[in-house]
Structure 1
Amino acid sequence: MIPLQTPVSPSDPADRDLLRLADHCVKCGLCLPHCPTYAQTRHEADSPRGRIALIQGWVTGELEMSNTLARHLDGCLTCRACEQACPSLVAVGRLMDGVKARRVARLPVWRRALRRRWLSVLSDARLTALLGRLAGRYRVSGLAGWMERIGLARRRWLVPYHRLATAMGAAARPMVADDRPAADLDLFVGCMGSSAQGAAIAATLRVCERLGLRVRIPSGSACCGALMRHNGYADEADRLRAGCVQRHAGRTLVGLASACIAELREDSALRETLEVCDFLDRAVWPASLKLRPLPRRVLVHEPCTHRHLPGGNAAVYRLLARVPELEVIPLPGNDTCCGAAGTYLLQQPAMAAALLRDKLASLADLKPDILVTTNPGCALHLAAGIREAGLTVAVCHPVELIL
């Protein structure tokens, strides 16, 4: 039986804030059909309603933080599909981020520091660029194939890192900063720019040049803070986002990665940050600019973070509609997370792989030439799955198909 009320009030103000958020849930269950993890396990504790009940029990002291409880809470993708169906408007994403922050705060100092270091590597543009170059060598040197042949790549702890490295090795491209003071827009490339979206950056620069737009890419690209926030390090996330405010406030800011844009827009100074397809769709296109025909079938993957942005993915479809002879189709099941979810694909590889299978089945059935997505994590996750499934589908950012 799921408790409908929590009679014990916590003494810690942060816990009281979590309880106030959780108590908005009326346990109606309308969220259940929309939760990807519940659809996989059919376990109440893997549903939004169930997780909120567990949080209420933990915050009020009725439940201890056991391995089982942690497993159910950590299984949340924070995709926020449940929020769209919730009549009580429960802020599940904010609640889950808050719970992670409280759990991190109660970790031993050494574990907290170790996790922060791991996340710092993933959110440092210089280090991810280096990882991208190393991943490229891992892929082309034959080491990745050798690891697969001898079975090491199938070791449980190594599987997600091997998958990510092979996909990143194919996607990594060098990126050149352009700190020009006078520009029409700042291009936010974040911490994964050269390691996962180098081709998209180059394509954006080409299109903007044809549209007569000057682009500024500040040197020393910074992380937006999303990875830190969704892993429980809210203070570090706030610090990183404040750096972005200092760097870009008062300028037209355009981003390539939907998750970064969602994080940046949470700050009032960056509330007008635009996704690149939305920005290009709004731009003035000269009548003389003719796009080359591209007779290909394209499926559009809609990342969870992009579906929650104002206007959703509509601009992606409008931008692609400018390309002559391009057949554009939404990927079936776009309302369900692909399983990437930031660092989730590394932390919960079994569930991430299970959620990916439905996407791969649709690709095998519809046989597109190209799959486009605006999230680099989703792109790497999907590309790795496509490779393993033996499908011949290219994965890229929508802007790469323009011009």
Structure 2
Amino acid sequence: MPENKSERLAALADQCVQCGLCLPVCPTYALDGNEAESPRGRIAIAAALARGLAPVTAELREPLDHCLGCLSCERVCPAQVRFGELLVETRAVLGPAPRRPRLLLAMAKRPSWLRLVHRLARWLGLSRWHRQLARRLPGRSALRAALGIASVSTGGPARKPFAAAAAGARLAMFPGCMASIEDADAQQAAMRLLAAAGHAVALLPSFCCGALDAHGGEARASTQAMQRVRKAWQGSGAEGLVTVTPGCLGQLRAALPGVTVSDPYHLLGVAGTALRFRPLPMRVALHLPCTQLNLARSSEVLLALLHRVPGLEVVPLPPRCCGAAGSHLLEFPERAARLREATLESIEMLAPQSVLSSNIGCRLHLAAGMAERGRAVPTMHPLVLLAQQLIEGNSP
């Protein structure tokens, strides 16, 4: 390991005071009851690797590969350890995990490929026969997990380009890669809501921000994606960046230091009475993704917005990681399924008419799990619900 990188990792690891306050909030520690599968254990492993005290073995790197990057530990850490930064930099040194499904991730990162996959799945009638094929594949198969997700995916509506206002857009919307297809309706909903709140928004081209690569140890590809983000941002002439996918936030902020990068909820929350909504007598379960809780930190303002819809009963699900975690659901599908169980049980107990979640990976992962249980419950991005109930003619 180059000396400058090893010194950097050692310095990040040395911030940890080994207090253990991170253990109760770590989903993988709860799953395994193993110190190595805790933030404290992973920091110790990273420190040993950085100082050359241990060789890189499959057994040693496995806990680092298992980490979900949920950042729950970082939020409760009294020493303010930058665990997310430590994890990404350690994985960059280790390189991609052996079980990383490169072809499937390449499809997810390329919107044109993903559109083709959706057309092919509809033509083949995947939703009718995927379970028969999945049963023939082992539980650890990435293809089996991908088939489950594809079977509950609609592919989203056609993406409609939005032009900047005549005076120039003050905000730019980053569509992402997979989200630009699967969450196209959420992006259009965000545009409509932001416009009603008085914000002109321009839509950037759709491509991967590099988050999947950064968390998968693909440092070079991540750097190239960040350069593309900066180029697109500079061409927009905007002052702030928004995305409907909280999983992109950390990577976008790293690519654009000094730029305000957020999800739309904070901007919509300060709109006050400019946004009014039609009544909707419905009971919904709200799933709060880890990135929204620990990175965007917009859960409270989202709840406030949903409570402004008359008649809407919103029941937040217990805050726990569902196991999707970017590429984790493909790399470790059995672990992802085990992590998902508690959330699925909560949904069944609540018996909602719909499940809301701001993260497309979480939403598909939960929908696939509910379908396996034979309890299909509609899932939706919260912005789509808000836009559907928006009263036209609002003025900021």
Q: Name the TM-score, length of structure 2 as normaliser.
A: 0.87
**Contact 2:230/2:256, CA 8 A, preserved across alignment:** no
Structure of greater relative contact order (alpha carbons < 8 Å, 6+ residues apart): 2
Taking every aligned residue pair, what percent have the same amino acid on both sides? Answer: 35
Secondary structure of the residue aligned to 1:266 is helix
Shift of the alpha carbon at 1:367? 1.0
CA–CA separation in structure 1 for the residues paired with 2:339 and 2:186: 26
1:58 maps to which of 21, 25, 49: 49
2:86 maps to which of 95, 112, 134: 95
Counterpart for residue 344 of structure 1: 328
**Contact 1:211/1:285, CA 8 A, preserved across alignment:** no
**Does the alignment pair 1:191 with 2:182?**
no
CA–CA separation in structure 1 for the residues paired with 2:264 and 2:383: 8
Counterpart for residue 4 of structure 1: none
**Does the alignment pair 1:378 with 2:362?**
yes
Counterpart for residue 238 of structure 1: 223
Which one-letter code corresponds to 2:31 in the other structure? Q
Secondary structure of the residue aligned to 1:308 is helix
Counterpart for residue 304 of structure 2: 318
- With 27-36 and 125-134 compared, the bigger mean Cα shift is at 125-134
CA–CA separation in structure 1 for the residues paired with 2:124 and 2:307: 37
**Contact 2:324/2:336, CA 8 A, preserved across alignment:** yes
Counterpart for residue 221 of structure 1: 206
Secondary structure of the residue aligned to 1:298 is strand
Secondary structure of the residue aligned to 1:142 is helix
**Contact 1:119/1:228, CA 8 A, preserved across alignment:** no
**Contact 2:27/2:321, CA 8 A, preserved across alignment:** yes
Q: Which runs of 5+ in 2 are unaligned?
A: 390-396
Secondary structure of the residue aligned to 1:393 is coil
CA–CA separation in structure 2 for the residues paired with 1:314 and 1:94: 25
Which one-letter code corresponds to 2:370 in the other structure? I
- With 125-134 and 291-300 compared, the bigger mean Cα shift is at 125-134
**Contact 1:132/1:172, CA 8 A, preserved across alignment:** no
**Contact 2:23/2:29, CA 8 A, preserved across alignment:** yes
1:305 maps to which of 262, 269, 291: 291
Shift of the alpha carbon at 1:180? 4.4
Secondary structure of the residue aligned to 2:285 is strand
**Does the alignment pair 1:142 with 2:128?**
yes
Counterpart for residue 254 of structure 2: 266
Shift of the alpha carbon at 1:291? 2.2
CA–CA separation in structure 1 for the residues paired with 2:130 and 2:284: 29
Counterpart for residue 36 of structure 1: 27
Q: Name the TM-score, length of structure 1 as normaliser.
A: 0.85
* Matched positions, count: 381
1:74 maps to which of 43, 59, 65: 65
- The correspondence of residues 104-253 of structure 1 with structure 2, limited to 5 A, is 104=95, 119-139=105-125, 142-148=128-134, 151-152=135-136, 156-157=140-141, 158-168=143-153, 170-180=154-164, 182-183=168-169, 185-208=171-194, 210=196, 214-218=200-204, 220-249=205-234, 250-251=237-238, 252-253=240-241
CA–CA separation in structure 1 for the residues paired with 2:362 and 2:309: 24
**Contact 1:264/1:270, CA 8 A, preserved across alignment:** no
Shift of the alpha carbon at 1:116? 6.5
